[in-house]
Structure 1
Amino acid sequence: MTPPNENLAAVPVLRHRPDPSDSVIWEPSERWVRGTKGDVTVVDSRRPLLVWEPGRPVPLYAFPREDVRTDLMRETEKPATRRHAGATVFYDLEVAGETIPRAAWTYPGEELAGHISFEWFGREVLDHWYEEEEEIFVHPRDPYKRVDALPSTRHVQVEIEGTVVADTRKPVLLFETHLPIRYYIPREDVRLDLFTPTDLTTRCPYKGVATEYWSWAGGGDVRPGVAWSYPEPLAAASAIKDRVAFYNEAVDIIVDGERLERPVTVFSAPAASRPEPPGESAR
């Protein structure tokens, strides 16, 4: 019998957890990642690192310096406020006649030396990011987060201000780590005549682009854009295509006769007034 722990030294450590626990956490990724600005490929890497900064729920990428167009970057002064876990050097990006201030930075310490990260949250420095051949939005996908869209036969009803606005026995339940279940309902089972279309668009790294939003037209204190749909979701969430979901935080949902308690999340406040959490997916 092999003694316990005898061969542990041969087991690769995939996730690096430094001490203290409020330090940067990182691990290697095997995804081919590219970032473009206009027609220029600024980043092209098959060996990026996923980096979790203290207080951020989702990761960023850090790329080997040789996989970055450093000829387009100019060292600049640090921002007045503390950003990016003690980043030592910041860079402006100069591409296509445009200068993007503090677009990138390096982290302190030997373990991440020689790697460069780019801004994603709050402002999209590059126009497009790709993992393999699929475009990604908002932030890199977290390998420790799941999104499962499962067809169901549960009886789901949605009420707003006492009015039943949706009633179905053919929902798709979307389970997303750290968020409440979202109930995606066939359009024919939703009273869209009670809503007004909006021009809101949001993006999610796991589901794609939600280009259809509706606001409740019946009055009362109901957040705008309370319902949404993904006309062309990403392949992993294809089951929600063209279906309509509602903020559980702002409507009453009854599942198999049980009225659910409204969850309290970052989406509980109206979109116009809530702070945007860094990297939180759109839905």
Structure 2
Amino acid sequence: MNALSTAESLRSTPEGLLWEPSERWVRGRKGDVTVVDSRHPVLVWEPGVPVPLYAFPREEVREDLLRPAKNPPTGTHTGSRVFYDLEVADELLENAAWTFPAHDLAGHIAFEWFQRTGKGLDSWYEEDEEIFIHPRDPHKRVDALPSSRHVQVEIAGTVVADTHRPVLLFETGLPTRYYIPREDVRLDLLTPTDHHTGCPYKGTAEYWSWHGKADVPPNVVWGYPVPLPAVAAVKGLLAFYNEAVDIIVDDERLERPVTHFNKTLSSRSAH
């Protein structure tokens, strides 16, 4: 039996990691090569990182594909000191895997996810469903609820959206997002961009930028043309970053929240 029993609850390590066993069957691939095939994965949360990653027992990893890292990084992954390069089909992926220094996670190996960091394994599966960007957090909920609230969005005093039929998306740890039918949005004030992002809970988003004179970050509006089934209610609707625009709900002007997206929006403005 795996030493990390599924009967144990969420635990912490002296290094500041949180971890818990998962009962999901997880596979990770590079191209057509399965590098990880695990029925005993462990979810790990690093300090200051809002999303988890997986670590896997060594016996469920293709260790024959791992090489001691030629240029191991420093100061990453909670002080990890052992990194591996991954060699698959004559391609060497530097620092694609590592071990944590925590005693609780001894004998486990973690991997980079290409869609999140631009390196590492490029496709992942939980059971027979492909997942993207990072593992889903079992302690997080995402609910998309149709509503009849009156929602308005303003940019520099201009009303760019006005609806009585929004879908409110409640996601643990984030402000409520207000998804609005396109017919209720001033699309003439927005320009579609080639920016896209992925979310393991919602799918792949497309973006629009405001083209007025106000100082607004690019890609301030997004939508999911083909959302994942759990949030099908937001299909084709548009949402605005609460952090960068003014949102009025039932005549109450909401305070702009401060989230990790503020930094992302600021970096976009800098470019």
**Structure (1/2) with the larger helix percentage:** 2
**Cα deviation code 1:227-271 (max 9, x no counterpart):** 111011112111111110001111111111111111122223563
Give the letter for the 1:49 counterpart.
Answer: V
Q: Secondary structure at the match of 1:66?
A: helix
Q: Secondary structure at the match of 2:265?
A: coil
TM-score by length of 2: 0.89
Structure 2 counterpart of 1:208: 203
> Within 1, Cα distance between the matches of 2:264 and 2:21?
37
Call closer, same or farther: CA 1:109–1:170 in 2, change over 3 Å.
closer
Give the letter for the 1:129 counterpart.
Answer: W
TM-score by length of 1: 0.86
Q: Percent identity?
A: 69
Matched, 1:191 2:186: yes
| Count of aligned residue pairs for this structure pair | 262
Is the 2:74–2:81 contact (alpha carbons within 8 Å) kept by the matching residues of 1? Answer: no
Runs of 5+ unmatched residues, structure 2: 1-5
**Cα deviation code 1:181-216 (max 9, x no counterpart):** 100011111111211110000011211110x21111
Structure 2 counterpart of 1:35: 28
Structure 1 counterpart of 2:124: 129
Runs of 5+ unmatched residues, structure 1: 1-10, 276-283
Is the 2:57–2:107 contact (alpha carbons within 8 Å) kept by the matching residues of 1? Answer: yes
Q: 1:133-212 residue pairs with structure 2 within 5 A?
A: 133-210=128-205, 212=206
Call closer, same or farther: CA 1:54–1:217 in 2, change over 3 Å.
closer
Is the 2:162–2:184 contact (alpha carbons within 8 Å) kept by the matching residues of 1? Answer: yes
Q: 1:75-114 residue pairs with structure 2 within 5 A?
A: 75-77=68-70, 79-114=72-107
Give the letter for the 1:174 counterpart.
Answer: L
Is the 2:93–2:119 contact (alpha carbons within 8 Å) kept by the matching residues of 1? Answer: no
RMSD: 2.0
The list of structure 1 runs, each at least 4 consecutive aligned residues, that deviate by more than 4 angstroms after superposition, is none
Q: What is the CA-CA distance between 1:80 and the residue it aligns to?
A: 4.5
Q: Secondary structure at the match of 2:11?
A: coil
